[in-house]
Amino acid sequence: MIGRCVRCGREDVLVDGRLCPQCYLEVRGLGRLPEPIEVVVCPRCGSYRYQGRWYPPPIDASNIEDVVREVIRLVAAARFRPNPEVESYRVENVEYIRDQFHGDYAIVRVVGKLRGVEREYSLEYRVRVNVKKQLCPQCFKKAGGAVEAILQVRGEGGRLSEEQRRSVEEVLEELSPAIREYISDVVEKREGFDLVLVDQGVAKAIASKLRSALGAKVVESWKVVGRRRDGRPKKRLTLSVRLPFFSIGSLVEMEGRLYRVVGIKNGFVYVRSIGARRVHRLSVEKAWRLLHQPRFEEEQRVLVAAVTPSSIHLQSLEDGYEYIELPKASVRFEPETVRVGREAILVRHNGRYYVLPLPEER
């Protein structure tokens, strides 16, 4: 509504029916910030407490001052009380100032839009800040050596191979710093290693990640390790995480035929029969039941000598250098493997021949 401002006398849009935007902002502002802003932040991991609950650090916790500034911004945005005539607002910037003589305070810049006015306006609010550094529950447990869960990483046969160890390490490296903070120790074992954690939920999340990315089988068990103050039993979680014998590219047997593992993702294992195009999706649990390490009746290194429409001619590279001619209908192979002049592996499995790429090419 256009009218004459009762304060400055000029004609303009009247925000509340009496004041122009400039006078309204000078008199009433965009709203108010309750004082002081209380900030409780963990100096170890950067988590912060708000309304009785702890939340993960909003940014990288390597610089605690930056974390405090970001927490002030989040709390200020949550506690800002806009005036009725403010259509929208956002906290755009926070400057955190430590003053040993007058106390800590923050300059909070709020950008808002008044009803009926097109442009946005920016105002700065100075508010007192009380920053308290306190260990969050998880870091407190970690500092006190509390063990809530143990995650045991092993191979299918009870021992972890070097390749499997590298795969697990790659998954762990992808975890966020906030998650890795819950790992209090890594205990090397001859058969693998144990992760000692101070949070059972995080332990389950890591185990789930290993199941999803590597096809690991996870088994939970609990042990009573004491009593809580209210008399309830205190239990420690043990997660047995076993990696399968297969990985992406592995040759496996399923229902008497040879397959190649072409993918492991989101808790599923994807396999494709040698020489076929169709991909089968198996849950991790089903893959553990159905997939087996293949055993060959014959195995030899060969050279592809010729390929005709009806047969494949192979020259054995083993003792005797036998010349082998096989009807195509009796052989399973990938087209890129059977090329003249290329070396391959000829195997016989359950009475059927397969021409496979060399192990270093799989």
Sign of the four-CA dihedral 90, 92, 94, 95: negative
For residues 98 and 38, membership in a common domain is answered with yes
Strand 149-155 versus strand 105-114 pairing type: unpaired
Q: pLDDT at residue 340 above 90?
A: yes
The full length of the chain comes to 362
For residues 305 and 356, membership in a common domain is answered with yes
Domain C-terminal end among 134, 165, 199: 134
Question: 85 in a domain, yes or no?
Answer: yes
Residue 337: count other Cβ atoms within 10 Å of its Cβ. 19
For residues 38 and 109, membership in a common domain is answered with yes
Query: In which band, very low, low, confident or very high, does the pLDDT at 362 lie, cut at 50, 70 and 90?
Result: low
Strand 251-254 versus strand 268-273 pairing type: unpaired
Q: pLDDT at residue 145 above 70?
A: no
pLDDT for 76-130, tens place per residue?
999 999 999 999 999 999 999 988 787 889 999 999 999 989 899 999 999 999 9
Residue given tokens 């096989």 in the structure block: 326
DSSP-derived 3-state class of residue 71: helix
Question: 203 in a domain, yes or no?
Answer: yes
Average pLDDT of 248-259?
94
pLDDT for 188-247, tens place per residue?
888 899 999 888 888 999 999 999 999 999 999 988 777 777 777 778 899 999 999 999
CA angle 231, 235, 240 (to 5 degrees): 175
Q: How far is CA 60 from CA 64, 219, 259, in A?
A: 9, 33, 44
Query: What pLDDT is recorded for position 82?
Result: 95
Q: Alpha-carbon distance 358 to 304, whole Å?
A: 12
Query: What pLDDT is recorded for position 125?
Result: 95
Number of domains in the chain: 4
Q: Alpha-carbon distance 181 to 198, whole Å?
A: 9
Query: What pLDDT is recorded for position 90?
Result: 94
Tokens of 352: 């059927």
Q: Alpha-carbon distance 196 to 147, whole Å?
A: 7
Q: Alpha-carbon distance 28 to 35, whole Å?
A: 17
DSSP-derived 3-state class of residue 219: strand
For residues 214 and 178, membership in a common domain is answered with yes
CA angle 137, 141, 142 (to 5 degrees): 115
Query: What pLDDT is recorded for position 180?
Result: 79
Domain that includes residue 277, residue range: 251-290
pTM score, whole prediction: 0.61
Q: pLDDT at residue 27 above 80?
A: yes
Task: Give the helix, strand, coil percentages of the chain, each rounded to 5.
Answer: 20, 45, 35
Question: 10 in a domain, yes or no?
Answer: no
Query: In which band, very low, low, confident or very high, does the pLDDT at 262 lie, cut at 50, 70 and 90?
Result: very high
Strand 323-327 versus strand 268-273 pairing type: unpaired
Query: In which band, very low, low, confident or very high, does the pLDDT at 19 lie, cut at 50, 70 and 90?
Result: very high
Q: pLDDT at residue 61 above 80?
A: no
Burial class (CB in 10 A: 0-12, 13-18, 19+), 235: middle
Mean pLDDT value across the chain: 89
pLDDT for 278-337, tens place per residue?
999 999 999 999 999 999 999 999 999 999 999 999 999 988 889 999 999 899 998 888
Question: 23 in a domain, yes or no?
Answer: no
Q: pLDDT at residue 144 above 70?
A: no
Question: 110 in a domain, yes or no?
Answer: yes
